Structure 1
Amino acid sequence: MKRQNGFTLIELVVVIVILGILAVTAAPKFLNLQDDARASSLQGLKGAIEGAAGITYGKAAIQGKEAAVSGSVDNIDIVYGYPAATSAALTSAVTGLAEDWKVIKITTGNGASIAYSYESTAANATQCVVTYTQATSPSSAASTKVTFGSGCDSSAN
């Protein structure tokens, strides 16, 4: 008699059950990648704004405008050498800002700021925000802050 090699039906069912259990435990981790992606994109925007502000300040310093209350460098409105907290100034300084992000709040006066969020209609789009605050004196630099709301992964700070 020939002996056949192979898997029995019970062995195949056990393997399928084990794979099902692994899939159920791993699925929530993969489904939560959207929050991580949102948090990463906010951090990316923060870095882009900070980089553009640093380059603008460097150009202003070369031209001797870093201590001026207002002025312009390469068609970018500046305040103490850093870009002003206006949509026009930051759009000129940061490539792609107008296409991918939307302005959700602007404050004026000393310490003016502008807040950007996703170009999205999602309910939580306005809760995940990058806020740029312009310089208030020659000795204080402009600052950029990320605020994580619901739907953003705050562990990515």
Structure 2
Amino acid sequence: MKKTNPVANQHGFTLIEIIAVLIILGILAAVAVPKYVDLTEEADEAAVNAQASSLSSGSAMNFAKYKLTGGTDGIDVTGCTGAASLVEDWDGERFDLGSSSTNSPFAKFTLLKTTDTTNPTEECYVSAQ
């Protein structure tokens, strides 16, 4: 009596098996793509919020340094566009800085100006380009 090996008789996948795999991959792709798109928008918002926090902290540190040294040390920032000098490695190609924002996402921070005693604070905006 001759024994046959059932594994030796199989030479590939059936058409049904290939179609089932393609359907499963299609469903996974349909679910995963929208989640990826949402993550990029959330990442942009997080990056803008991080830049606004850095600018706010830099402004507060600069203002404190200016006041503690009696005005002899610190960067004189007169407006929102000059606030980029308070942060190392400011990415001007990726972020806009100004007193208003038309781009989205954007975040607001308060700039503390060192030499303007009549209006020492200014609301500024950071937005993604």
TM interval, short-chain normalised: 0.5 to 0.7
| Counterpart amino acid of residue 47 in structure 1 | S
Aligned to 1:126: 103
Deviation at 1:133, TM superposition (A): 3.6
> Which blocks of at least 5 consecutive residues in structure 2 are unaligned?
none
> Are residues 131 and 45 of structure 1, via their aligned partners in 2, closer, same or farther at CA, if it must alter by over 3 Å?
same
Q: 1:18 aligns with which of 21, 24, 34?
A: 24
> Please, what TM-score do these two structures have when normalized by structure 2?
0.63
Equivalences for residues 3-152 of structure 1 within 5 A: 3-4=6-7, 7-65=13-71, 73-74=73-74, 76-77=75-76, 83-88=77-82, 90-97=83-90, 99-100=92-93, 101-103=95-97, 105=98, 114-115=99-100, 126-135=103-112, 142=121
How many residues of Structure 1 are paired with residues of Structure 2 in the alignment? 117
Q: TM-score, normalised by structure 1?
A: 0.54
Query: How much is the aligned-residue C-alpha RMSD, in angstroms?
Result: 3.7
1:50 counterpart SS class = helix
| Structure 1 residue runs without a partner (length 5+) | 66-71, 78-82, 106-113, 118-124, 152-157
Give the drift of 1:12.
2.9
Q: Percent identity?
A: 21
Higher strand share: 1
Is the 1:50–1:144 Cα contact (8 Å) retained in structure 2?
Answer: no
Q: Please list the CA deviations of residues 6-52 of structure 1 after superposition, one character each: whole Å capped at 9, or x if unmatched.
A: 55432232122112111111111112333122201211211110121
CA distance in 1, matches of 2:45, 2:64: 29
